[in-house]
Each structure stands twice: as C-alpha cells, then as structure tokens.
C-alpha cells in the first residue's frame, strides 16, 4: 500500500507507538483486500459497535485504555451501539444483580468513551442516523463505521460509502482519520451481484423480506425490484424505516452491507438507464424471485428456540419490538397498533410485558411530540427503552425468559421466538392462544 506523507510520518512513529500500531493494523487489514491506498474519512461523525460493557469484552476495554494512554484518540466525535440494560426497565432483583456481573465493564467502557470524545450520554443507539440523534452522513461520504444494520443503512439509504468494519477497527479508523480503500468504498464494489425480484401479492414484512435476501445473497450486493409498487419512489420516513428493518435482517442472516432498491435508494435512482436497466447491475448478475411461498418458507425454517424446553407450551413472558431501534414515527405507529388491538380484544393492558426499543433521543422526542400516545403507551404497560435486546439476552437469567419478537436480528442472536409483526401485535394485545404454540 502506498502511504501519503502524513501516514508515513505515523509509520515512522512520529505520533507515538500506539498510532503506529493503529496504522499498521489498518494497513494489514486493507492489504488483505487489495487496497492500494488509504482514503480520508469525510463523514462528520463516527459510529462504533461497542455500547455494552460485557465482561467477555474485557480485552477490548484493555485495548481502548492502551490507545488512550498512548494518546491515540478519535479525530471526530462519535456515537455507539446501545447499552445492554437500563435502570427503568422492569426486572427481578436477581436479573438486576446478574446484569451487574454480566455487564461489569459498563462503567469503565463509558468512562473510556467519554475520554475518547463520545457525542453525549444519549449517543448509545444502533440507529444514530435518526434525525433526533443527528449522526447523519451525506451522500458519498467516506465512513469508518461499524454496526451491521447501520452500515447497511448508511450505504444503501443514504449513499455513503462504508465497509462492514469490525468493532475496534472502526475505532482505529476514526483515530487515524483514514480507511483503506476497497470493497464498498469503490464504484465496482457497489455494483449488484444479484437481482431480487419481489413478486409477493402483498407487501412483505421488512424483516422477513430482508431475511430471505440475506439467506440468498450472503455477502453480495442485491438490486431489489418490485418494492416501489408498495413503497412509492420517495424516501419518506416510513420508507426509510422499512428499509432499515429489511437491511438489518439481511445483515444478520447474511452479511449484506449494501443493497439497492429500484426507483427508491439514491444510487439506484442515479444510475437508472433509459431502457429500464441500471448501470449498477453487473452483467452476470444472478436473478432470484421472492414470492409469498419463499417468505413463508423462510419463516417456517426458523429454528424454534423453545423446542425441547419444559416451558415450550407456556405463554411468553416478554415481548421486544424495535430491533434495530424504532424511529419516532415507528413508536407512534406501533402505539396505535397496540391500542387498536387492545380495543379489538376488549383488553386495557398488554397481555405480555412489552419493551419498545428506541434511541434515548428518539424516546425523548416521541414523548414531546406525541405526549398523549406516550402516556397511553405507559398506561397499557409498555416500556420504552434505549437498551439493546441482544445484549439483554446475554444474561443467562433473562435468556431463559420466554421472549417473543418480530426482529430477525434478535431471534438470530437469542432464544427469542419469532412472530411476524401482525402476529406479535395479536399476541401482545389478545393474549396467548393455542394457535400461537
């Protein structure tokens, strides 16, 4: 790799040993992918994937300390992934005590992030690109972010350029201010390997569609056709939310870091050809049709995490929605769905303890913008939290709780059982029934 003068000085150790090691790490990483140069990060802020002080991540916190002590600090402010738990979330004393042990590195990690210049104490969310949080890259920005769902979103919905960087590497990129140029940072790397034809009768739920895409494309770039029939061609907040959830699912079943949606996402629109084609599609792109049968097949093939456990036939104890974190508009719409469902079923309270997850800034905005709904949500028994439900289930006690979710990402990483959004609303508002077993 050819380094510029600034980086050569770093390599000579002129900014200290820690910086030299940071550079060498990123050079070795880039050279594995044929990168010939480092390019400057142009995004205004970074985003890291470490928000939970998990005891298993102690080596990471040690490394962060080594960087701080060595004077290797990020050049820009940043946001990071959600905390694993929050004090106001209802739980037993035993659960709370176990969280103290499981997340014993939380205080240390947050202190280290503060020393490194994190945006503020509300900056813990997987959806930092929400307007209320304000970490919104521009089209074409070069980024050194991590968090699979966020990378997918900023690449696809915004048109920024970011590889699927690992935790720590994203931090080192922001310390150096450069990332190696390869993969999704290049024009060629952003071209589509797959054409996905969505031929469902009705609009598929985003998490199920994303799941089907992830299983098929794994790490490739898909170009998705047929969604504009339902989503239109404007990137409204509703459309952005749909794509956020679809992309997150594709990034957990597989490792899709970028997708294009015909007539909707910015690069797909920019590269459209007059004949209906698109110059983003590779010549030899494979075609895959997703219809209702494929969506059903994907859902039916999810493993039942409750299989063989004694409580298999018992009612769920906890429901999670908002993984990735909800937008303000999703909080509004899900509130309405629950209120409608409760009316339909003649209930006044949710039948399962329910947590809606959203960024702390989004939660505050929701409470200001929709105070009546926020009060109603509390009254029917729903808690809004900025926690990460994946991290929440790394506690062996909470992992034993029978959790239901409409999040493909959560069901993948935990023993939470997946139901479609419509099914989840029915269970939460109408109660557990034989048909859900």
Partner 1 sequence: MIKRYKGRVVVPGDVIAEALVTHTGFNTLANLKTAGSFLNPRGVLQDMNNPELYGKKMPGKILCLPETIGSTTGGMVLYCASVMGVGPACMLFSKKADTLAVAGAVLTANWSEHPIILVDDLGDEFLQEIKEGQRIHVKEDGTVLVECEDLFDAAP
Closer of 50 and 213 to partner 1 (Cβ) = 50
Tokens representing residue 130 in the block? 């929400």
Task: Tell me how far CA of residue 311 lies from CA of 108, 190, 400, 414, in angstroms.
Answer: 37, 46, 10, 16
Q: Per DSSP, which regions of 335-402 are E strands?
A: 353-358, 382-385
Least distance CB 227 / partner 1 (angstroms): 23
Asked if residue 211 lies in contact with residue 249, where contact means CB atoms within 8 angstroms, the answer is: yes
Neighbouring CB atoms inside 10 A of 8's CB total 12
Binding mask 154-193 for partner 1 (x = CB under 8 A): ---------xxxxxxxx------------x----------
Closer of 51 and 341 to partner 1 (Cβ) = 51
Residue 56 binding partner 1, by CB under 8 A: yes
How many residues sit in the footprint of partner 1 (CB under 8 A)?
45
Residue 312 binding partner 1, by CB under 8 A: no
Closer of 171 and 261 to partner 1 (Cβ) = 171
Distance CA 130, CA 153 (A): 11
Closer of 74 and 341 to partner 1 (Cβ) = 74
* Sole binder of partner 1 in the list 10, 35, 45, 50 (CB under 8 A): 50
Least distance CB 214 / partner 1 (angstroms): 8
* Sole binder of partner 1 in the list 19, 45, 49, 350 (CB under 8 A): 49
Closer of 103 and 334 to partner 1 (Cβ) = 103
Asked if residue 102 lies in contact with residue 55, where contact means CB atoms within 8 angstroms, the answer is: yes
Closer of 60 and 406 to partner 1 (Cβ) = 60
Q: Which sign does the torsion angle of CA 357, 361, 362, 363 carry?
A: positive
Residue 140 binding partner 1, by CB under 8 A: no
Least distance CB 284 / partner 1 (angstroms): 17
Residue 303 binding partner 1, by CB under 8 A: yes
Distance CA 155, CA 158 (A): 6
Residue 323 binding partner 1, by CB under 8 A: no
Give the single-character DSSP code of 131: T
Residue 412 binding partner 1, by CB under 8 A: yes
Q: Which distant-in-sequence residues (6+ apart) come within 8 Å of 83 by Cβ? A: 51, 52, 106, 124, 386, 387, 388, 391
Residue 21 binding partner 1, by CB under 8 A: yes
Tokens representing residue 401 in the block? 């709780």
Neighbouring CB atoms inside 10 A of 324's CB total 29
Residue 68 binding partner 1, by CB under 8 A: no
Residue 108 binding partner 1, by CB under 8 A: no
148: alpha, beta or left? (left if phi > 0; alpha if psi -120 to 50) = alpha
Binding site for partner 1 (CB under 8 A): 21, 24-25, 28-29, 32-33, 49-50, 55-60, 63, 66, 102, 146-148, 151, 163-170, 183, 218-219, 251-255, 303, 305, 394, 396, 412-413, 415
């Amino acid at each position: 790799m050819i380094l510029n003068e600034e980086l050569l000085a770093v390599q000579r150790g002129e900014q200290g040993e820690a910086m030299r090691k940071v550079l060498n790490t990123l050079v070795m990483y880039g050279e594995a992918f044929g990168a010939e140069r480092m390019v400057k990060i142009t995004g205004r802020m970074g985003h890291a994937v470490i928000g939970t002080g998990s005891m298993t991540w102690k080596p990471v916190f040690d490394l962060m300390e080594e960087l701080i002590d060595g004077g290797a600090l990020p050049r820009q402010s940043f946001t990071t992934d959600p905390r694993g738990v929050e004090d106001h979330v209802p739980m037993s004393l035993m659960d709370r005590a176990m969280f103290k042990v499981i997340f014993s590195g939380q205080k240390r990690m947050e202190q280290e992030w503060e020393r490194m210049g994190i945006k503020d104490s509300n900056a813990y969310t997987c959806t930092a690109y929400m307007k209320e949080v304000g970490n919104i890259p521009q089209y074409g920005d070069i980024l050194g972010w991590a968090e699979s769902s966020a990378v997918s979103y900023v690449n696809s919905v915004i048109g920024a350029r970011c590889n699927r960087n690992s935790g720590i590497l994203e931090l080192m990129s922001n310390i150096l201010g450069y990332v190696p140029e390869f993969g999704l940072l290049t024009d060629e790397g952003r071209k589509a390997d797959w054409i996905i034809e969505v031929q469902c009768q009705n609009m598929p739920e985003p998490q199920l569609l994303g799941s089907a895409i992830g299983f098929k494309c794994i790490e490739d770039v898909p170009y998705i056709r047929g969604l504009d029939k339902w989503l239109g061609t404007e990137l409204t907040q509703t459309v952005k939310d749909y794509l956020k959830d679809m992309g997150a699912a594709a990034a957990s079943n597989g490792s899709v870091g970028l997708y294009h949606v015909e007539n909707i996402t910015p690069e797909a629109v920019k590269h459209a050809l007059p004949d209906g084609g698109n110059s983003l599609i590779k010549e030899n792109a494979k075609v895959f049709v997703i219809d209702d049968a494929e969506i059903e097949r994907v859902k039916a093939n999810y493993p039942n995490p409750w299989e063989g456990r004694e409580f298999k036939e018992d009612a769920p104890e906890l429901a999670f929605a908002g993984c990735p974190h909800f937008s303000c508009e999703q909080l509004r719409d899900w509130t309405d769905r629950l209120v409608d469902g409760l009316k339909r079923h003649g209930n006044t309270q949710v039948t399962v303890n329910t947590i809606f997850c959203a960024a702390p800034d989004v939660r505050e905005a929701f409470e200001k913008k929709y105070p009546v709904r926020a009060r109603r949500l509390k009254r029917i028994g729903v808690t809004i939290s900025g926690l990460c439900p994946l991290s929440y289930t790394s506690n062996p006690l909470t992992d034993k709780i029978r959790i239901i979710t409409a999040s493909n990402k959560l069901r993948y990483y935990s023993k939470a059982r997946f139901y479609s959004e419509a099914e989840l609303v029915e269970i939460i508002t109408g109660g557990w029934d034989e048909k859900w077993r």
